[in-house]
Amino acid sequence: MDRIRVHGGRALAGTVPVNGAKNAALPALAAALLTDQPLRLTNVPNVRDVITMFRVLEHLGGQAAVDGSLCTVRMPRILEPEAPYALVRRMRASVLVLGPLLARTGRARVSLPGGCAIGERPINLHLEGLSRLGAEVDLVHGYITARSRRLHGADITFAARTVTGTENLMMAAALAEGRTVLRNCAMEPEIEDLATLLNAMGGRIGGAGTETIAIEGVETMHGAGHRIMPDRIEAGTFVIAGAITRGAVCVTGCNPKHLTALTQTLEGAGVPLVIQDDSIATGPWDRLIGRDIATAPYPGFATDLQAQAMALLTQAEGTSIITENIFENRFMHTGELRRMGADITLEGHAAIVRGPTPLSGAPLMATDLRASASLIIAALVAEGTSIVNRIYHIDRGYEKIEEKLGALGAAIERLRGEE
Ligand code: EPU
Protein backbone atom coordinates (compact mmCIF):
# COMPACT_ATOMS: atom_id res chain seq x y z
CA MET A 1 0.00 0.00 0.00
CA ASP A 2 1.34 3.42 -0.92
CA ARG A 3 1.88 6.17 1.65
CA ILE A 4 2.55 9.86 1.34
CA ARG A 5 5.38 11.55 3.26
CA VAL A 6 5.23 15.29 3.90
CA HIS A 7 7.84 17.51 5.54
CA GLY A 8 5.83 20.48 6.78
CA GLY A 9 6.65 24.15 6.99
CA ARG A 10 6.96 25.39 3.42
CA ALA A 11 4.72 28.12 2.03
CA LEU A 12 3.25 26.97 -1.28
CA ALA A 13 3.64 29.20 -4.33
CA GLY A 14 2.74 28.93 -7.99
CA THR A 15 -0.07 27.90 -10.28
CA VAL A 16 -1.99 24.65 -10.17
CA PRO A 17 -4.49 23.55 -12.84
CA VAL A 18 -7.67 21.74 -11.90
CA ASN A 19 -8.85 18.48 -13.48
CA GLY A 20 -12.30 17.51 -14.63
CA ALA A 21 -14.72 16.66 -11.84
CA LYS A 22 -14.86 13.08 -10.61
CA ASN A 23 -18.45 13.54 -9.50
CA ALA A 24 -19.46 14.79 -12.95
CA ALA A 25 -17.46 12.16 -14.85
CA LEU A 26 -19.10 9.25 -13.01
CA PRO A 27 -22.72 10.05 -14.00
CA ALA A 28 -21.55 11.05 -17.51
CA LEU A 29 -20.03 7.58 -17.95
CA ALA A 30 -23.22 5.97 -16.62
CA ALA A 31 -25.17 7.98 -19.22
CA ALA A 32 -23.37 5.99 -21.92
CA LEU A 33 -25.78 3.17 -21.03
CA LEU A 34 -28.65 5.16 -22.54
CA THR A 35 -27.50 4.73 -26.14
CA ASP A 36 -25.72 2.22 -28.39
CA GLN A 37 -23.72 5.07 -29.93
CA PRO A 38 -20.40 6.40 -28.61
CA LEU A 39 -19.97 9.20 -26.09
CA ARG A 40 -16.84 11.26 -26.44
CA LEU A 41 -16.00 12.77 -23.06
CA THR A 42 -13.12 15.18 -22.58
CA ASN A 43 -11.52 16.46 -19.37
CA VAL A 44 -12.11 13.09 -17.66
CA PRO A 45 -9.89 12.83 -14.57
CA ASN A 46 -7.59 9.86 -14.28
CA VAL A 47 -8.67 8.77 -10.82
CA ARG A 48 -9.44 5.36 -9.35
CA ASP A 49 -13.24 5.87 -9.13
CA VAL A 50 -13.39 6.66 -12.85
CA ILE A 51 -11.41 3.49 -13.58
CA THR A 52 -13.86 1.53 -11.41
CA MET A 53 -16.73 2.96 -13.48
CA PHE A 54 -14.95 1.78 -16.66
CA ARG A 55 -14.84 -1.73 -15.09
CA VAL A 56 -18.56 -1.55 -14.34
CA LEU A 57 -19.36 -0.53 -17.94
CA GLU A 58 -17.06 -3.22 -19.34
CA HIS A 59 -18.79 -5.80 -17.16
CA LEU A 60 -22.09 -4.67 -18.69
CA GLY A 61 -20.70 -5.14 -22.22
CA GLY A 62 -19.24 -1.72 -22.92
CA GLN A 63 -15.99 -0.55 -24.44
CA ALA A 64 -13.99 2.37 -23.08
CA ALA A 65 -10.93 3.81 -24.83
CA VAL A 66 -8.88 6.34 -22.91
CA ASP A 67 -6.32 8.74 -24.32
CA GLY A 68 -5.16 11.10 -21.58
CA SER A 69 -8.26 12.93 -20.42
CA LEU A 70 -10.26 11.99 -23.55
CA CYS A 71 -12.49 9.00 -23.11
CA THR A 72 -14.64 7.35 -25.74
CA VAL A 73 -17.16 4.96 -24.32
CA ARG A 74 -19.68 2.85 -26.12
CA MET A 75 -22.35 0.39 -25.03
CA PRO A 76 -23.38 -1.29 -28.33
CA ARG A 77 -25.39 -3.87 -26.39
CA ILE A 78 -25.90 -4.75 -22.77
CA LEU A 79 -24.65 -8.26 -22.07
CA GLU A 80 -26.12 -8.77 -18.62
CA PRO A 81 -27.70 -5.78 -16.86
CA GLU A 82 -25.93 -6.44 -13.58
CA ALA A 83 -23.45 -4.47 -11.44
CA PRO A 84 -21.85 -7.05 -9.16
CA TYR A 85 -20.96 -6.71 -5.48
CA ALA A 86 -17.21 -6.90 -6.25
CA LEU A 87 -17.41 -3.59 -8.13
CA VAL A 88 -20.14 -1.79 -6.17
CA ARG A 89 -18.36 -2.41 -2.87
CA ARG A 90 -15.32 -0.61 -4.31
CA MET A 91 -17.39 2.41 -5.26
CA ARG A 92 -20.90 3.26 -4.13
CA ALA A 93 -21.42 5.56 -7.12
CA SER A 94 -21.73 2.36 -9.23
CA VAL A 95 -25.39 2.65 -8.25
CA LEU A 96 -25.60 5.35 -10.94
CA VAL A 97 -26.01 2.59 -13.53
CA LEU A 98 -29.36 1.53 -12.04
CA GLY A 99 -31.56 4.21 -13.65
CA PRO A 100 -30.05 4.15 -17.16
CA LEU A 101 -29.82 0.32 -17.26
CA LEU A 102 -33.46 0.00 -16.36
CA ALA A 103 -34.47 2.63 -18.90
CA ARG A 104 -32.48 0.99 -21.70
CA THR A 105 -33.17 -2.72 -21.07
CA GLY A 106 -36.19 -2.85 -18.76
CA ARG A 107 -34.10 -4.80 -16.25
CA ALA A 108 -31.33 -4.05 -13.78
CA ARG A 109 -29.65 -5.98 -11.01
CA VAL A 110 -27.30 -3.91 -8.90
CA SER A 111 -25.65 -4.85 -5.63
CA LEU A 112 -27.00 -2.71 -2.79
CA PRO A 113 -24.09 -0.55 -1.63
CA GLY A 114 -23.32 -0.92 2.06
CA GLY A 115 -22.56 1.89 4.49
CA CYS A 116 -19.14 3.48 4.24
CA ALA A 117 -16.63 5.37 6.35
CA ILE A 118 -18.70 8.57 6.30
CA GLY A 119 -22.16 7.22 7.05
CA GLU A 120 -24.91 4.76 6.30
CA ARG A 121 -25.77 6.29 2.93
CA PRO A 122 -29.09 4.63 2.04
CA ILE A 123 -30.47 4.73 -1.52
CA ASN A 124 -34.15 4.51 -0.61
CA LEU A 125 -34.91 7.75 -2.47
CA HIS A 126 -33.43 6.38 -5.73
CA LEU A 127 -35.57 3.24 -5.37
CA GLU A 128 -38.79 5.06 -4.42
CA GLY A 129 -38.35 7.33 -7.42
CA LEU A 130 -37.81 4.41 -9.81
CA SER A 131 -40.96 2.76 -8.44
CA ARG A 132 -42.88 5.95 -9.15
CA LEU A 133 -41.63 5.73 -12.76
CA GLY A 134 -43.24 2.29 -12.94
CA ALA A 135 -40.44 -0.09 -11.98
CA GLU A 136 -40.95 -3.11 -9.76
CA VAL A 137 -38.12 -2.96 -7.28
CA ASP A 138 -37.06 -5.81 -4.96
CA LEU A 139 -34.13 -6.59 -2.73
CA VAL A 140 -32.92 -10.18 -2.91
CA HIS A 141 -29.61 -11.62 -1.66
CA GLY A 142 -28.14 -8.13 -1.26
CA TYR A 143 -29.05 -7.14 -4.81
CA ILE A 144 -31.62 -4.63 -5.97
CA THR A 145 -33.56 -5.99 -8.88
CA ALA A 146 -35.66 -3.59 -10.88
CA ARG A 147 -37.94 -4.45 -13.77
CA SER A 148 -40.34 -2.59 -15.95
CA ARG A 149 -41.76 -2.45 -19.41
CA ARG A 150 -41.17 1.08 -20.61
CA LEU A 151 -40.90 3.48 -17.66
CA HIS A 152 -43.52 6.21 -17.59
CA GLY A 153 -43.33 9.84 -16.50
CA ALA A 154 -44.41 10.88 -13.00
CA ASP A 155 -44.45 13.84 -10.65
CA ILE A 156 -41.96 13.02 -7.91
CA THR A 157 -40.95 15.03 -4.86
CA PHE A 158 -37.73 13.93 -3.19
CA ALA A 159 -38.14 13.72 0.60
CA ALA A 160 -34.53 14.98 0.90
CA ARG A 161 -31.98 16.34 -1.53
CA THR A 162 -29.81 13.65 -3.04
CA VAL A 163 -27.17 14.22 -5.70
CA THR A 164 -26.83 10.77 -7.25
CA GLY A 165 -30.55 10.13 -6.60
CA THR A 166 -31.44 13.15 -8.74
CA GLU A 167 -28.96 11.99 -11.41
CA ASN A 168 -30.29 8.42 -11.44
CA LEU A 169 -33.89 9.55 -11.87
CA MET A 170 -32.98 12.15 -14.49
CA MET A 171 -31.30 9.42 -16.58
CA ALA A 172 -34.18 6.96 -16.10
CA ALA A 173 -36.81 9.58 -16.96
CA ALA A 174 -34.90 10.69 -20.06
CA LEU A 175 -36.07 7.51 -21.87
CA ALA A 176 -39.44 7.16 -20.09
CA GLU A 177 -42.76 7.64 -21.82
CA GLY A 178 -44.18 11.11 -21.17
CA ARG A 179 -43.26 13.93 -18.83
CA THR A 180 -41.53 13.64 -15.47
CA VAL A 181 -41.24 16.44 -12.97
CA LEU A 182 -38.68 16.01 -10.19
CA ARG A 183 -39.10 18.33 -7.21
CA ASN A 184 -36.82 19.17 -4.30
CA CYS A 185 -33.88 18.13 -6.48
CA ALA A 186 -30.25 18.54 -5.47
CA MET A 187 -28.87 21.62 -7.26
CA GLU A 188 -25.18 20.69 -7.44
CA PRO A 189 -23.43 21.91 -10.62
CA GLU A 190 -22.62 18.29 -11.48
CA ILE A 191 -26.36 17.72 -12.06
CA GLU A 192 -26.47 20.58 -14.56
CA ASP A 193 -23.38 19.15 -16.24
CA LEU A 194 -25.12 15.78 -16.63
CA ALA A 195 -28.26 17.45 -18.03
CA THR A 196 -26.13 19.27 -20.63
CA LEU A 197 -24.73 15.91 -21.75
CA LEU A 198 -28.16 14.23 -21.76
CA ASN A 199 -29.60 17.06 -23.88
CA ALA A 200 -26.67 16.72 -26.31
CA MET A 201 -27.66 13.03 -26.55
CA GLY A 202 -31.19 13.99 -27.61
CA GLY A 203 -32.74 14.25 -24.15
CA ARG A 204 -35.24 16.98 -23.29
CA ILE A 205 -34.42 18.17 -19.81
CA GLY A 206 -35.03 21.60 -18.34
CA GLY A 207 -34.37 23.14 -14.94
CA ALA A 208 -31.30 21.11 -13.91
CA GLY A 209 -29.38 23.12 -11.32
CA THR A 210 -32.65 24.34 -9.79
CA GLU A 211 -34.89 22.46 -7.40
CA THR A 212 -37.42 21.49 -10.07
CA ILE A 213 -36.38 19.51 -13.13
CA ALA A 214 -38.78 18.72 -15.97
CA ILE A 215 -38.00 15.88 -18.35
CA GLU A 216 -39.88 15.05 -21.55
CA GLY A 217 -39.10 11.41 -22.22
CA VAL A 218 -37.75 10.51 -25.67
CA GLU A 219 -37.81 7.19 -27.58
CA THR A 220 -34.08 6.92 -28.17
CA MET A 221 -30.89 8.80 -27.43
CA HIS A 222 -27.77 9.11 -29.53
CA GLY A 223 -24.01 9.64 -29.22
CA ALA A 224 -22.55 13.02 -28.25
CA GLY A 225 -19.42 14.85 -27.17
CA HIS A 226 -19.11 16.61 -23.84
CA ARG A 227 -16.44 18.35 -21.78
CA ILE A 228 -16.62 17.44 -18.08
CA MET A 229 -16.86 20.49 -15.79
CA PRO A 230 -13.89 21.41 -13.56
CA ASP A 231 -13.61 19.70 -10.19
CA ARG A 232 -14.79 22.23 -7.62
CA ILE A 233 -13.70 20.03 -4.71
CA GLU A 234 -10.18 19.57 -6.07
CA ALA A 235 -10.03 23.34 -6.66
CA GLY A 236 -11.23 24.06 -3.11
CA THR A 237 -8.69 21.61 -1.71
CA PHE A 238 -5.79 23.47 -3.38
CA VAL A 239 -7.16 26.85 -2.31
CA ILE A 240 -7.21 25.63 1.30
CA ALA A 241 -3.71 24.15 0.92
CA GLY A 242 -2.47 27.54 -0.29
CA ALA A 243 -4.27 29.32 2.54
CA ILE A 244 -3.00 27.11 5.37
CA THR A 245 0.64 27.62 4.35
CA ARG A 246 0.12 31.38 3.97
CA GLY A 247 1.16 30.81 0.39
CA ALA A 248 0.51 32.46 -2.96
CA VAL A 249 -1.26 29.73 -4.91
CA CYS A 250 -3.28 30.37 -8.05
CA VAL A 251 -5.78 27.60 -8.79
CA THR A 252 -6.62 27.79 -12.50
CA GLY A 253 -9.23 26.26 -14.79
CA CYS A 254 -11.91 26.24 -12.09
CA ASN A 255 -15.30 27.92 -11.85
CA PRO A 256 -15.16 30.19 -8.76
CA LYS A 257 -18.97 30.57 -8.84
CA HIS A 258 -19.15 26.93 -7.74
CA LEU A 259 -17.02 27.74 -4.69
CA THR A 260 -18.73 30.81 -3.28
CA ALA A 261 -19.52 29.24 0.10
CA LEU A 262 -15.83 28.38 0.54
CA THR A 263 -14.37 31.65 -0.72
CA GLN A 264 -16.73 33.70 1.48
CA THR A 265 -15.69 31.65 4.51
CA LEU A 266 -11.99 32.08 3.74
CA GLU A 267 -12.29 35.81 3.13
CA GLY A 268 -14.28 36.14 6.36
CA ALA A 269 -11.47 34.32 8.16
CA GLY A 270 -8.90 36.77 6.79
CA VAL A 271 -7.42 34.94 3.78
CA PRO A 272 -6.87 37.44 0.93
CA LEU A 273 -8.19 35.97 -2.31
CA VAL A 274 -8.06 37.20 -5.88
CA ILE A 275 -11.02 35.70 -7.71
CA GLN A 276 -11.18 35.88 -11.51
CA ASP A 277 -13.42 34.22 -14.09
CA ASP A 278 -11.66 30.88 -13.95
CA SER A 279 -9.12 31.14 -11.16
CA ILE A 280 -8.78 31.72 -7.43
CA ALA A 281 -5.48 32.94 -5.96
CA THR A 282 -4.56 32.95 -2.29
CA GLY A 283 -2.29 35.45 -0.59
CA PRO A 284 -0.57 35.32 2.81
CA TRP A 285 -2.79 36.40 5.70
CA ASP A 286 -1.78 38.50 8.70
CA ARG A 287 -4.34 37.04 11.08
CA LEU A 288 -6.55 34.04 10.56
CA ILE A 289 -9.76 34.24 12.59
CA GLY A 290 -12.01 31.27 13.39
CA ARG A 291 -15.28 30.90 11.46
CA ASP A 292 -18.28 28.65 11.92
CA ILE A 293 -19.16 26.31 9.08
CA ALA A 294 -22.34 24.29 8.54
CA THR A 295 -22.34 21.89 5.60
CA ALA A 296 -25.44 21.96 3.41
CA PRO A 297 -26.57 20.91 -0.05
CA TYR A 298 -25.32 23.20 -2.85
CA PRO A 299 -25.04 26.19 -2.86
CA GLY A 300 -24.22 25.71 0.85
CA PHE A 301 -20.82 24.73 2.19
CA ALA A 302 -19.85 21.40 0.57
CA THR A 303 -19.48 18.43 2.90
CA ASP A 304 -16.67 17.35 0.56
CA LEU A 305 -14.61 20.36 1.74
CA GLN A 306 -15.43 20.10 5.45
CA ALA A 307 -12.43 17.99 6.46
CA GLN A 308 -9.98 20.21 4.56
CA ALA A 309 -11.50 23.37 6.07
CA MET A 310 -11.17 21.85 9.54
CA ALA A 311 -7.42 21.43 9.04
CA LEU A 312 -7.20 25.14 8.16
CA LEU A 313 -9.29 26.25 11.14
CA THR A 314 -6.87 24.55 13.56
CA GLN A 315 -4.58 27.47 12.60
CA ALA A 316 -7.21 30.17 13.21
CA GLU A 317 -7.56 32.30 16.33
CA GLY A 318 -10.55 31.54 18.53
CA THR A 319 -13.26 28.93 18.36
CA SER A 320 -14.76 27.57 15.13
CA ILE A 321 -17.81 25.36 15.21
CA ILE A 322 -18.11 22.99 12.25
CA THR A 323 -21.50 21.36 11.87
CA GLU A 324 -21.79 18.39 9.52
CA ASN A 325 -25.38 18.20 8.29
CA ILE A 326 -25.04 15.78 5.35
CA PHE A 327 -23.31 12.64 6.64
CA GLU A 328 -23.60 11.33 10.19
CA ASN A 329 -20.06 10.01 10.51
CA ARG A 330 -17.86 12.40 8.58
CA PHE A 331 -15.53 13.35 11.43
CA MET A 332 -13.05 10.46 11.29
CA HIS A 333 -10.23 12.92 10.51
CA THR A 334 -10.66 14.74 13.83
CA GLY A 335 -8.92 11.97 15.79
CA GLU A 336 -5.92 12.13 13.45
CA LEU A 337 -5.78 15.95 13.53
CA ARG A 338 -5.82 15.72 17.33
CA ARG A 339 -2.84 13.38 17.20
CA MET A 340 -0.99 16.19 15.42
CA GLY A 341 -1.81 18.58 18.24
CA ALA A 342 -5.16 20.09 17.17
CA ASP A 343 -7.67 21.00 19.88
CA ILE A 344 -10.96 19.59 18.57
CA THR A 345 -13.89 18.22 20.54
CA LEU A 346 -16.90 16.51 19.04
CA GLU A 347 -20.43 17.16 20.20
CA GLY A 348 -22.89 15.19 18.12
CA HIS A 349 -22.87 16.62 14.60
CA ALA A 350 -20.54 19.47 15.58
CA ALA A 351 -16.77 19.71 15.90
CA ILE A 352 -15.46 22.51 18.08
CA VAL A 353 -12.04 23.63 16.94
CA ARG A 354 -9.97 25.88 19.20
CA GLY A 355 -6.94 27.56 17.77
CA PRO A 356 -4.41 28.33 16.79
CA THR A 357 -2.52 25.20 17.75
CA PRO A 358 0.90 24.33 16.40
CA LEU A 359 0.76 20.96 14.65
CA SER A 360 3.52 18.38 14.71
CA GLY A 361 4.14 15.72 12.10
CA ALA A 362 2.97 12.19 12.92
CA PRO A 363 2.15 8.86 11.32
CA LEU A 364 -1.47 9.21 10.18
CA MET A 365 -4.25 7.02 8.87
CA ALA A 366 -6.51 8.17 6.04
CA THR A 367 -10.09 6.94 6.44
CA ASP A 368 -11.80 8.30 3.35
CA LEU A 369 -11.10 10.41 0.30
CA ARG A 370 -11.61 13.90 1.72
CA ALA A 371 -10.17 12.97 5.16
CA SER A 372 -6.94 12.03 3.34
CA ALA A 373 -6.83 15.49 1.77
CA SER A 374 -7.38 17.07 5.18
CA LEU A 375 -4.44 15.17 6.69
CA ILE A 376 -2.12 16.14 3.84
CA ILE A 377 -3.17 19.79 4.23
CA ALA A 378 -2.49 19.67 7.98
CA ALA A 379 0.88 17.98 7.34
CA LEU A 380 1.89 20.90 5.08
CA VAL A 381 2.09 23.19 8.14
CA ALA A 382 3.07 20.63 10.76
CA GLU A 383 6.54 20.81 12.22
CA GLY A 384 8.54 17.79 11.07
CA THR A 385 7.51 14.76 9.05
CA SER A 386 4.10 13.14 8.61
CA ILE A 387 3.37 9.88 6.87
CA VAL A 388 -0.20 9.44 5.65
CA ASN A 389 -1.10 5.76 5.39
CA ARG A 390 -3.91 4.16 3.32
CA ILE A 391 -3.39 6.75 0.63
CA TYR A 392 -5.37 4.64 -1.82
CA HIS A 393 -8.35 6.63 -0.56
CA ILE A 394 -6.92 9.79 -2.07
CA ASP A 395 -6.25 8.13 -5.42
CA ARG A 396 -10.01 7.57 -5.74
CA GLY A 397 -10.59 11.27 -6.34
CA TYR A 398 -7.38 13.29 -6.77
CA GLU A 399 -5.12 12.87 -9.79
CA LYS A 400 -1.45 13.00 -8.82
CA ILE A 401 -2.00 15.20 -5.78
CA GLU A 402 1.59 14.75 -4.62
CA GLU A 403 2.93 15.93 -7.98
CA LYS A 404 0.66 18.97 -8.00
CA LEU A 405 1.56 19.95 -4.43
CA GLY A 406 5.22 19.21 -5.14
CA ALA A 407 5.13 21.59 -8.11
CA LEU A 408 3.86 24.27 -5.68
CA GLY A 409 6.93 23.72 -3.51
CA ALA A 410 5.64 21.24 -0.93
CA ALA A 411 8.13 18.68 0.35
CA ILE A 412 5.94 15.69 -0.45
CA GLU A 413 6.54 12.28 -1.92
CA ARG A 414 4.75 9.02 -2.47
CA LEU A 415 6.33 6.00 -0.84
CA ARG A 416 5.45 2.92 -2.85
CA GLY A 417 4.71 -0.46 -1.38
CA GLU A 418 4.53 -1.80 2.15
CA GLU A 419 3.34 0.02 5.23
N1 EPU B 1 -29.86 10.01 1.38
C2 EPU B 1 -30.91 9.24 1.82
N3 EPU B 1 -31.53 8.41 0.92
C4 EPU B 1 -31.14 8.33 -0.37
C5 EPU B 1 -30.06 9.10 -0.81
C6 EPU B 1 -29.44 9.94 0.09
O7 EPU B 1 -31.29 9.29 2.99
O8 EPU B 1 -31.74 7.56 -1.12
C9 EPU B 1 -29.17 10.91 2.32
C10 EPU B 1 -27.71 10.51 2.55
O11 EPU B 1 -27.59 9.52 3.53
C12 EPU B 1 -27.09 11.82 2.95
C13 EPU B 1 -27.88 12.83 2.11
O14 EPU B 1 -29.08 12.17 1.74
O15 EPU B 1 -27.35 12.06 4.31
C16 EPU B 1 -27.16 13.33 0.86
O17 EPU B 1 -26.62 12.24 0.14
P18 EPU B 1 -26.48 12.25 -1.45
O19 EPU B 1 -27.38 11.20 -1.99
O20 EPU B 1 -26.65 13.63 -1.96
O21 EPU B 1 -24.98 11.79 -1.63
P22 EPU B 1 -24.45 10.91 -2.84
O23 EPU B 1 -25.22 11.24 -4.06
O24 EPU B 1 -24.32 9.50 -2.42
C25 EPU B 1 -22.71 12.67 -3.72
C26 EPU B 1 -21.23 12.70 -3.97
C27 EPU B 1 -20.49 12.70 -2.64
C28 EPU B 1 -20.94 13.93 -1.85
C29 EPU B 1 -22.46 13.93 -1.69
C30 EPU B 1 -23.00 15.17 -1.00
C31 EPU B 1 -21.03 11.57 -6.10
C32 EPU B 1 -20.58 10.38 -6.86
N33 EPU B 1 -20.86 11.54 -4.77
O34 EPU B 1 -22.96 11.48 -2.99
O35 EPU B 1 -19.10 12.79 -2.93
O36 EPU B 1 -20.34 13.94 -0.58
O37 EPU B 1 -23.10 13.82 -2.97
O38 EPU B 1 -22.63 16.31 -1.69
O39 EPU B 1 -21.50 12.54 -6.67
C40 EPU B 1 -16.80 12.54 -2.50
O41 EPU B 1 -16.57 12.90 -3.66
O42 EPU B 1 -15.89 12.44 -1.62
C43 EPU B 1 -18.16 12.21 -2.10
C44 EPU B 1 -18.45 11.45 -1.03
Q: From the alpha carbon of 128, which atom of ligand 1 is closest?
A: 8
Decide: 165 in ligand 1 pocket, CB within 6 A.
yes
Report the SS3 class of residue 14.
strand
Residue 120's pLDDT is what?
81
- Nearest-Å Rg of the Cα atoms of the chain is 21
Distance 378 CA to ligand 1 centre (A): 25
Cα gap 389→163, rounded to integer Å: 30
416 has a pLDDT exceeding 80 = yes
Residue 3's pLDDT is what?
96
Distance 77 CA to ligand 1 centre (A): 30
Distant-in-sequence, close-in-space partners of 308: CB < 8 Å, separation ≥ 6: 236, 237, 240, 241, 370, 373, 374, 377
Number of H helices, E strands in the chain: 14, 24
Q: Whose CA is nearest to atom 16 of ligand 1?
A: 162
Decide: 129 in ligand 1 pocket, CB within 6 A.
no
Q: From the alpha carbon of 119, which atom of ligand 1 is closest?
A: 11
Residue pair 300/261 in contact by the 8 Å Cβ criterion? yes
Distance 121 CA to ligand 1 centre (A): 7
Q: Work out the mean pLDDT of the chain and round it to a whole number.
A: 96
Q: Whose CA is nearest to atom 4 of ligand 1?
A: 123
Cα gap 88→59, rounded to integer Å: 12
For the stretch 189-222, what's the b/e string if a residue is b when 16 or more beta carbons lie within 10 angstroms of its beta carbon? bbbbbbbbbbbbbbbebebbbebebbbebbeebe
Cα gap 336→374, rounded to integer Å: 10
115 has a pLDDT exceeding 80 = no
419 has a pLDDT exceeding 90 = no
| Residues that are catalytic | 116
Strands (E), 161-308: 179-183, 204-206, 213-216, 224-227, 248-252, 273-276, 279-282, 293-294
Distant-in-sequence, close-in-space partners of 226: CB < 8 Å, separation ≥ 6: 28, 39, 40, 41, 42, 196, 197, 200
Amino acid sitting at position 282: T
Residue 116's pLDDT is what?
75
Taking every pair of Cα atoms in the chain, the longest distance, rounded to a whole number of angstroms, is: 64
How large is the average pLDDT for residues 318-345? Answer: 96
Decide: 48 in ligand 1 pocket, CB within 6 A.
no
Q: How far apart are the first and last CA of the chain?
A: 6
- Quickly count: other Cβ atoms within 10 Å of residue 390's Cβ: 17
Q: What is the pTM of this model?
A: 0.97
How far apart, in Å, are the Cα atoms of 322 and each of 242, 328, 356, 394?
Answer: 21, 13, 15, 22
Residue 418's pLDDT is what?
63
Percent of the chain with pLDDT over 70: 99
Percent of the chain with pLDDT over 90: 94
